[in-house]
Amino acid sequence: MKILRVSDAISIKRSVDSGTEEQRIAVKKIIEEVRVRGDEAVREFTDKFDRVNLASFLVSEEEIKEAYELVDSYSISVIQEAAANIHSFHEKQLRPTWITTEENGTMLGQKITPLDSVGVYVPGGLAAYPSSVLMNVLPAKVAGVERIVMVSPPSDNGKLPPAVLVAAKEAGVKEIYKVGGAQAIAALAYGTETISNVDKIVGPGNIYVALAKREVFGDVDIDMIAGPSEIAILADETARPHEVAADLLSQAEHDERACSVLVTTSEKLANEVAEEVLKQLEELPRKDIASKSIEDYGAIYIANDMEEAISTINQLAPEHLEIITVNPIELIGKIKHAGAIFLGRFSPEPVGDYFAGPNHVLPTNGTARFSSPLNVEDFQKKSSIILYSEQALNENAEKIAAFARLEGLEAHARSVEARFKK
């Protein structure tokens, strides 16, 4: 693992995979077909890409029951406890509709309303990600979204992974379709005979899913397009090298393009972590992926002092930030940009990935400068409320009309004045 001085310019920005021209054309075609031919097209694409012919896309009660029999009861209880924690943290984000009232009769405010319907995409492939189901569904549930639809590509046996179904059931999803890829996004955006359209689509997916989401954006809302995962660890000499190394590797095992960075004031720690990373790498099942990630995107930066280290972190704006220093909580105020901040050695990043409650859908690729973790407000919208009484309008009519005329909008001025003439 390379060790550098922070004075070397650093960035964890990686080019975003925007797909090839061929992929974009393929995705446009899939969307067009699904818009025009509905279920028939969805069925054909599922046949073609997932190599399975389904009598019905909808997951049955039977399949849910079967899933509960296939997952061991300890895992079910862990999923349930994680769901409860995530639900509870997101509930604390809820805000009420509010108004202010003034003596002259003015009432102003913000009405908070949940979206009517949301689609959650859950990727298929070899691994099953029940945590992704919980993290994407529960904020929508807590927000009050009435209709939450889950879609996921079927395995070649025509089923979804049992742990994913258990997570969906625990999160309260009642409508699950075995459809994946761009055809699933198209169905969610424009509707088919069996799948009604939704207002917003969230959840990660492969390049076809990402391109399809970009394509339908505007007709429906989408969440951010996530890049590869990142961790930055800010540590001083009090950090234990084997813990820091384990945390860097937990990120590196995700993806060859994942990025794991240590920023430290201690040269000793830097050297020991570099050694530990190599040692622990040897024993990892996903050694190949993690090695490549560490080699290409891993780095250890040595800072002259804590100020310089923190300024480096703010420059990175990492998705995950661990602070393992003598007094991490004192540093929160200085952290300006990070998706999630993990404080102290007993808060390794997997605590947040699965269990603590805050969302694991976080801004990547430096977008923590202006983006937030997925949260309840992503599934609600605001409407301004404006009520002027006769007295309030009377007091202000002249000013409002003057402002309108300053902008050359006479009909605006007359709309106000119409109230006070016969």
Work out whether 298 is an interface residue with its own copies (CB under 8 A): no
Q: Tell me, letter by letter, the H, E, C secondary structure of the chain.
A: CCEEECCCCCCCCCCCCCCCHHHHHHHHHHHHHHHHHCHHHHHHHHHHHHCCCCCCCECCHHHHHHHHHHCCHHHHHHHHHHHHHHHHHHHCCCCCCEEEECCCCCEEEEEEEECCEEEEECCCCCCCCHHHHHHHHHHHHHHCCCEEEEECCCCCCCCCCHHHHHHHHHHCCCEEECCCHHHHHHHHHHCCCCCCCCCEEECCCCHHHHHHHHHHECCEEECCCCCCCEEEEEECCCCCHHHHHHHHHHHHCCCCCCEEEEEECCHHHHHHHHHHHHHHHHCCCCHHHHHHHHHHHCEEEECCCHHHHHHHHHHHCCCEEEEECCCHHHHHHHCCCCCEEEECCCCCCHHHHHCCCCCCCCCCCCHHHCCCCCCHHHHEEEEEEEECCHHHHHHHHHHHHHHHHHCCCHHHHHHHHHHHCC
CA 256: distance to chain centroid?
20
Task: Please identify which residue in 25, 84, 94, 387 interacts with its own copies, judged by CB under 8 A.
Answer: 387
- For its own copies, the binding residues in 25-64 under the rule CB under 8 A are none
Q: Which of 90, 320, 337, 360 is catalytic?
A: 320
Work out whether 229 is an interface residue with its own copies (CB under 8 A): no
Work out whether 327 is an interface residue with its own copies (CB under 8 A): no
Quote the least distance from Cβ 56 to its own copies, whole Å: 27
Work out whether 419 is an interface residue with its own copies (CB under 8 A): yes
Work out whether 403 is an interface residue with its own copies (CB under 8 A): yes
Work out whether 302 is an interface residue with its own copies (CB under 8 A): no
Work out whether 207 is an interface residue with its own copies (CB under 8 A): no
The two tokens of residue 21 are 């021209």
Q: Are 376 and 93 in contact (CB under 8 A)?
A: yes
Tell me whether residue 118 or residue 184 sits nearer to its own copies (CB atom): 118
Angle at 142 between CA 140 and CA 145, to 5 degrees: 50
- For its own copies, the binding residues in 96-135 under the rule CB under 8 A are 98, 100, 106-108, 110-111, 113, 115-116, 126-131
Q: Would you call 69 a catalytic residue per the annotation?
A: no
**Angle, to 10 degrees, between the axis of helix 73-91 and the axis of helix 130-143?**
40
Tell me whether residue 270 or residue 401 sits nearer to its own copies (CB atom): 401
Task: Please identify which residue in 223, 312, 348, 364 interacts with its own copies, judged by CB under 8 A.
Answer: 348
Work out whether 369 is an interface residue with its own copies (CB under 8 A): yes
Tell me whether residue 48 or residue 95 sits nearer to its own copies (CB atom): 95
Pairing, β 221-222 against β 98-101: unpaired
Work out whether 191 is an interface residue with its own copies (CB under 8 A): no
Quote the least distance from Cβ 256 to its own copies, whole Å: 14
Quote the least distance from Cβ 380 to its own copies, whole Å: 8
Please tell me the count of residues contacting its own copies according to CB under 8 A: 119
Tell me whether residue 52 or residue 381 sits nearer to its own copies (CB atom): 381
Work out whether 337 is an interface residue with its own copies (CB under 8 A): yes
Q: Are 167 and 134 in contact (CB under 8 A)?
A: yes
Quote the least distance from Cβ 369 to its own copies, whole Å: 5
Q: Would you call 319 a catalytic residue per the annotation?
A: yes
- Rounded Cα distance, 144 and 314, in Å: 35
Quote the least distance from Cβ 348 to its own copies, whole Å: 5
- Rounded Cα distance, 318 and 260, in Å: 10
Q: Does 407 appear as a known binding residue?
A: yes
Q: Which of 243, 319, 322, 349 is catalytic?
A: 319
Tell me whether residue 46 or residue 251 sits nearer to its own copies (CB atom): 251
- For its own copies, the binding residues in 130-189 under the rule CB under 8 A are 130-131, 163
- Rounded Cα distance, 124 and 305, in Å: 45
The two tokens of residue 125 are 């492939």
Segment contacting its own copies by CB under 8 A, of 176-184, 295-303, 304-312, 329-337: 329-337
Work out whether 243 is an interface residue with its own copies (CB under 8 A): yes
Work out whether 371 is an interface residue with its own copies (CB under 8 A): yes
Task: Please identify which residue in 33, 42, 83, 89 interacts with its own copies, judged by CB under 8 A.
Answer: 89
Task: Please identify which residue in 37, 48, 51, 95 interacts with its own copies, judged by CB under 8 A.
Answer: 95
Q: Does 121 appear as a known binding residue?
A: yes
Task: Please identify which residue in 75, 101, 238, 304 interacts with its own copies, judged by CB under 8 A.
Answer: 75
Quote the least distance from Cβ 76 to its own copies, whole Å: 10
Binding residues for NAD(+): 121, 183, 206
Binding residues for Zn(2+): 251, 254, 353, 412
Binding residues: 121, 183, 206, 229, 251, 254, 320, 353, 407, 412
* Catalytic center residues: 319-320
